[in-house]
Structure 1
Amino acid sequence: MNAYPELSPSPRTIMTPGPVEVDPRVLRAMSYPILGQFDPEFTALMNNTMGMLRELFQTGNQWAYPVDGTSRSGIEAVLTGLIEPGDRVLVPIYGRFGHLLVEIAERCGAEVSIIERAWGEVFDPQEVIDAIHREKPKLVALVHGETSTGRLQPLADIGRACREADVLLAVDAVATIGGVPVESDAWFLDAVIGGTQKCLSVPSGMSPITYNERAERKILTRKRVERGLRSGDADENAATGFRIQSNYLDLSQLQDYWSPARLNHHTEMTSMLYGLHEGLRILLAEGLTARFARHRLHEEALVAGITAMELPLYGDPSCKLPVVTCVAIPDGIDGESVRSMLLHRFGIEIASSFGPLKGRIWRIGTMGYSCSRKNVLHTLGAFEAVLARHGLKLPAGEAVQAALDVYDRHGAPV
């Protein structure tokens, strides 16, 4: 008798800030036959993927391609490519993932300066601009959408100031790409990192990135120094410690692989690329404007329902991240017990949070394929029922009705 049962994951309604439900068309695409990585059909698919990523990132950059690995691989690839030991790097922190940027920059040997805002807030762009003038960094690394707090940082003025000061700006857009506008060129973003498992509704395993000529010059300068080290031609003092530390995440080699030269670097993740290609095709067929509006609509319905339950929302509403809604856990309610009952009685998963917010808020994602009328109504109805089972007195039935009112005002789209 086989001791290992057949794989049969339970169906879930995933309303977390990632991962989210995957579009069935993406799963179907991932089941297609394998092609060799230098098969002309496959290299044509690589080129198409790059073209669709340029549209997604709203950029004319030559380089827009996925790094094989979860979102953190893209963040590490960009930061290890742009940071030399001793570089001054400025990281504005307003949640958990700003701290991650600090850790990676420090591992790269950077001299890191930080500024901080309380969790639940974002920076006035002038605060960051003042810090740029004060600290004079070579790079600013900044989170666009902070899922730990459900906040969205404005970038356009910061990007313009970085460009005027000749400072590189690298942006973690993992939570926002595909659900919220990310205007790489218009906002003067030098490098942008995305993820597949959130608003793109593709399984975790790739990190789409883009970077411009300013960033590429930094990467290629370091590449030439490293080659000089190997050949003995480079000046020892200039070259010491300036190598890109990772081979797998070396952007100078990755872009050679994605270039027409197809210089062999690694074996591409064929099935994941199929999934990303299909996810991007679906996204662009919907249209960026329509997709952003869909995320805003279902956020509005979810927030209306939560407000109708008289539950307090967490954080500054003026900078709310449209794809993540944070709810303060009422006094006397066991937040983890509520999450457990939602999961095991209704098959719905929502998230808790981290650090100072652990046990204080729930986080509900409305991202990608999970961002639908069915999921919002199902979640609100179940949430109300579970909270009532935990002894919380609520206006009965008002949550779903409030959400339905939103949908009726907008013509009841799916």
Structure 2
Amino acid sequence: MNGFVPPPRLLMGPGPISCHPRVLQAMSQQLVGQFDPSMTACMNDTMALYRDVFRTRNHWTFMVDSTARGGIEAALVSLLKPGERVLVPVIGRFGLLLKEIAERVGAEVHCIDVEWGRVAEPGQVAAAIDRFKPQLVALVQGDTSTTMCQPLAEIGQLCREKGLLSYCDATASIGGNRFLTDEWGISAVSAGLQKCLGGPSGIAPITLNIDAVERINRRRHVEAGIRASHHRNAAGARIGSNYFDLAMIMDYWGEERLNHHTEATSMLYAARECARLWLEEGGDNVIARHQRAGAAMAAGLEAMGLRLFGDSHYRMNNVTGVYIPLGVDGEKVRAQLLQEFAIEIGTSFGPLHGRIWRIGTMGYNARIDAVLQTLACLEQVLLLNRVTVNAGDAVAAALDIFKS
């Protein structure tokens, strides 16, 4: 059997994206032992770098060796116990994922169901908190299923005032959209590399403030007491996961360096390089680059004659939703774009399935040539399918954004 050589692709969907060459190079470096001083120094460097990415002073900023979903699960199974109440504003598919994971923990979950294409209003969240009295508010900042970016500042402040923990999944938004962990008062945040940070999927940066750490350690002490008495009550205080137990992972990343798992060394190298690239360019510059590329893509699609999806005030910088023209087979167009032009754009889920495409401009691909190539090739595929478009206008409109 021959070795696998991936075909050349320009990944312009909602993620993953084309990996930055420097990140690929970093991943090719040789392994060292997980307790080698150079390795623990690399871990400490990575913690410091991601404090800058998350805009936080949280000491406990580290990596969970898993895809971004593992980071989400680690946060929720470690912060929650059965019977506790959780409020989840659902603005898309990934809000539903938070709901499912919390339910699997045994939490009592209450949702604010928001029309897809909109975001939750702070007043809705405040009213729901007063009604349901949750211990945790869990939400997604950028939900790629709807391309909406949930404002967090007022909700984070609201949770602080009411003495609640807040958790945010920032997988699809961190790095390309403004995120201020400390200023907004978010208790716990998890993310991934494969979107705006320009890396591969496989490791999940996470940050925890003192309140979240105290909750996790309080559960650790309760569990220790239960084990000592050889008794476990019906509620089951001990969390259901060993691998995703943040208390144990913190022991691994802390000064004790207690063995928990074998570190995913190559992914750690990738995470470190992703953060180095972000900081070298300057976080504000990276966000501005994503904003410009996203605005250019949106302007190009509209100039072509297509209609954008969702509330324009709350669109993510890095993913644009666009309605599939009436009478057009959206999957056929996506297949032609991939097979004939080597460009991937995204399909959609749930109530948006078959109604919109999702086009990403993120990470290494948030650049002028990638945007112009995607617009020009999509225009050509639509023309091949006898769709009336304003030929040539898309690239011109995008160029105007990049030149402004």
* TM superposition score category, shorter chain reference: over 0.9
Determine the C-alpha separation between the residues in 1 that align with 2:110 and 2:336: 43
The AA in structure 1 aligned to 2:295 is E
Determine the C-alpha separation between the residues in 2 that align with 1:260 and 1:108: 29
What is residue 286 of structure 2 aligned with on the other side?
291
Asked if residue 230 in structure 1 is aligned to residue 227 in structure 2, the reply is yes
What is residue 343 of structure 1 aligned with on the other side?
338
The AA in structure 2 aligned to 1:121 is R
Determine the C-alpha separation between the residues in 1 that align with 2:205 and 2:119: 25
What is residue 261 of structure 1 aligned with on the other side?
256
Determine the C-alpha separation between the residues in 2 that align with 1:147 and 1:62: 29
The AA in structure 2 aligned to 1:384 is E
1:240 is displaced (CA, Å) by 4.6
Q: Deviations 1:358-399 (Å, cap 9, x if unpaired)? A: 100000011100111110000000010000111111111111
The AA in structure 2 aligned to 1:277 is R
CA contact 2:83–2:235 (8 Å) conserved in 1: no
The AA in structure 2 aligned to 1:303 is A
Asked if residue 29 in structure 1 is aligned to residue 26 in structure 2, the reply is yes
Number of positions where the alignment pairs a residue of Structure 1 with one of Structure 2: 404
Q: Which runs of 5+ in 1 are unaligned?
A: 410-414
Determine the C-alpha separation between the residues in 1 that align with 2:49 and 2:126: 32
CA contact 2:82–2:235 (8 Å) conserved in 1: no
Identity across aligned pairs (percent)?
Answer: 52
1:8 is displaced (CA, Å) by 1.0
Q: Deviations 1:136-170 (Å, cap 9, x if unpaired)? A: 10001101101000001111111111011111100
Asked if residue 135 in structure 1 is aligned to residue 110 in structure 2, the reply is no
What is residue 306 of structure 1 aligned with on the other side?
301
The AA in structure 1 aligned to 2:8 is P
What is residue 357 of structure 1 aligned with on the other side?
352
What is residue 160 of structure 1 aligned with on the other side?
157
What is residue 375 of structure 1 aligned with on the other side?
370
Determine the C-alpha separation between the residues in 1 that align with 2:221 and 2:400: 61
Q: Which runs of 5+ in 2 are unaligned?
A: none
Determine the C-alpha separation between the residues in 2 that align with 1:88 and 1:64: 26
TM-score by length of 2: 0.98
Q: How does 1:167-316 map to 2 (within 5 A)?
A: 167-232=164-229, 240-316=235-311
CA contact 1:175–1:195 (8 Å) conserved in 2: yes
Q: Helix, strand or coil for the counterpart of 2:87? A: strand
1:403 is displaced (CA, Å) by 1.1
Determine the C-alpha separation between the residues in 1 that align with 2:174 and 2:230: 42
Q: Deviations 1:257-281 (Å, cap 9, x if unpaired)? A: 1011111111000111011111111
Residue from 75, 78, 83 that aligns with 1:81: 78
The AA in structure 2 aligned to 1:399 is A
RMSD: 1.1
Determine the C-alpha separation between the residues in 2 that align with 1:127 and 1:244: 31
Runs of 4+ in 1 over 3 A off after TM superposition: none
Determine the C-alpha separation between the residues in 2 that align with 1:206 and 1:349: 23
Determine the C-alpha separation between the residues in 2 that align with 1:394 and 1:197: 32
CA contact 2:348–2:357 (8 Å) conserved in 1: yes
TM-score by length of 1: 0.96
Determine the C-alpha separation between the residues in 1 that align with 2:124 and 2:176: 26
CA contact 1:223–1:244 (8 Å) conserved in 2: no
CA contact 1:91–1:98 (8 Å) conserved in 2: yes
Determine the C-alpha separation between the residues in 1 that align with 2:402 and 2:312: 21
Q: Deviations 1:28-76 (Å, cap 9, x if unpaired)? A: 1111111100111110000000000100000011101110010110000
